[in-house]
Amino acid sequence: MDRTIVITGASRGIGLATAEAFLAAGDRVLALYHRHPEPVEALIARYPGRAFGYGCDLAKRESIAPLAAYCHSLFPQVDILVNNAGIARQQLFVDMTAEEWDGLWQLHVTAPILLTQALLPAMLSRGQGQIINVSSIWGREGASCEVAYSCVKAAVIGFTQALAKEVGLMGVRVNAVAPGVIDTDMCAHLTADDRRALAEQTALGRLGTAQDVAGAIVMLASPQAAYITGTVLPVDGCFMG
């Protein structure tokens, strides 16, 4: 489609699948990564001139300004920003340290907000652009032993819905996806019994894939979704847990 997309957390899981989907559709992608450059390097080799990579730690506030400057220097415009980067944390609420909370908040909330704030003015001046945030089913419902994760993902939903109302008249759409149990590295700790139980709690009878979520993101970014903004799209197979 010849659009420019910036995707955070694009070296694995949902981010990597989303980068691959946009590239396959003919778009340009800046794939951001932290510790795993190899998958992004493979994308660059497969899609020369359309796939680009940039390494940074979004858990550090000071990384945002250089990243935004790089985006502006690399592309004449950014059409779509996909705020995907994140980590899961399973622990009892009483065991969570202040440092762990600060790290989750910075990565899941502050970084997307600051990066959006840096790239949004150019979208507003053109009268077009899209922000797509990756939240979670737990941001909608909450989860035991994932209180902090549920909190930050709920904040992503609030950010999405409020910003959509603020910038809609200026031609910018803001949406989110809320994945359910997706078979990525975040689920690596699950046993076979855990996976079976979670699949049984899902109406479609299986765990989701990164490609399932990527497909939803690409759909929200498409012209067919031109009248959709402020939406949090569940991608959870109708999880009933």
- Closest of 236, 230, 201 to residue 216, by C-alpha: 236
Check: CB of residue 215 under 8 Å from CB of residue 159. no
Please identify which of the residues 33, 47, 54, 149 carries the catalytic annotation. 149
**What distance in Å separates the CA atoms of residue 36 and residue 14, rounded to the nearest whole number?**
14
* Alpha helices (H) along 92-177: 98-105, 111-126, 137-141, 147-167
DSSP code of residue 58: T
- The helix/strand/coil state of 198 is helix
- The helix/strand/coil state of 147 is helix
149 is annotated as an active-site residue: yes
Structure tokens belonging to residue 151: 């909190």
Active site residues: 149
